[in-house]
Amino acid sequence: MGLYSRHIFPRLCDRAMRRPDMARLRGEFLADVGGDVLEVGFGTGLNLEHYPEHIRRITAVDPNAGMTKLARRRIDEGGIEVDRRVLGGEALPFEDKTFDCVVSTWTLCSIAEVGRALAEVCRVLRPGGRFLFLEHGLGDDPGVRRWQRRLTPMQRRLADGCRLDLDVEAVVRGQPFGHVEVGRFLLERTPRLLGSMYRGVARK
């Protein structure tokens, strides 16, 4: 991991992702999380303040040590115990059927082997468990899609692996979840290249 990925990008990402409208979405998205929780792509800990009051502990994974360093203040100031692991989602070090909920917010776009990571999510969920995801990805408009595909190579270099053209619904439905619900919307005040959103839940 280079200097940019570890020290510069985490700060840029933290600033970009703490917009008030995104905070509102986080609060709505996490309102009914319960049980044993795994957060994939913990980042700088921006979700912490939005978990329901009954959540007192979560497990979190993120491969970027720079993100984890920035998250320490939020962890120290919050009321949730966080078992942090500096690792990616493609090989989770947990037993089968460990978690009731797995949470992912603006994360899948940056996982190189996203199908493998989602297979791991499915594996560590208990029967009846839920994978909740709030992600950006491939747009509905053909013109937007063309530009997303053209610009993704540049985006991956600038944003630590982030893809603009990930078909989030397709990769989630490609895993053996029992039921998948997906909603689509546009993020306010955001170009459609970046603001084409997916919000959903996949049940095991």
Average pLDDT over residues 112-132: 97
Q: What is the pLDDT of residues 142-190, one digit of tens each?
A: 999 999 999 999 999 999 999 999 999 999 999 999 999 999 999 999 9
Question: What's residue 52's pLDDT?
Answer: 96
Residue 69 pLDDT exceeds 90 = no
pLDDT of residue 159: 94
Q: How high is the mean pLDDT of the chain?
A: 95
Query: Which pLDDT tens digit goes with each residue over 90-101?
Result: 999 999 999 999
pLDDT value of residue 78: 87
**Which residues are registered as beta bridge partners of 134?**
105, 199
Per-residue pLDDT tens digits for 9-38:
999 999 999 999 999 999 999 999 999 999
Residue by residue, what is the 3-state secondary structure of the chain? Answer: CCHHHHHHHHHHHHHHHCCHHHHHHHHHHCCCCCCCEEEECCCCCCCHHHCCCCCCEEEEECCCHHHHHHHHHHHHHCCCEEEEECCCCCCCCCCCCCEEEEEEECCHHHCCCHHHHHHHHHHHEEEEEEEEEEEECCCCCHHHHHHHHHHHHHHHHHCCCCCCCCCHHHHHHCCCCCEEEEEEEECCCCCHHHHEEEEEEEEC
pLDDT score of 1: 63
pTM for this model (two decimals): 0.95
In the chain, the domains with their CATH numbers are: 3-203 (3.40.50.150)
Residue 82 has pLDDT above 70, yes or no: yes
Number of neighbouring beta carbons within 10 Å of residue 49:
15
Residue 68 has pLDDT above 90, yes or no: no
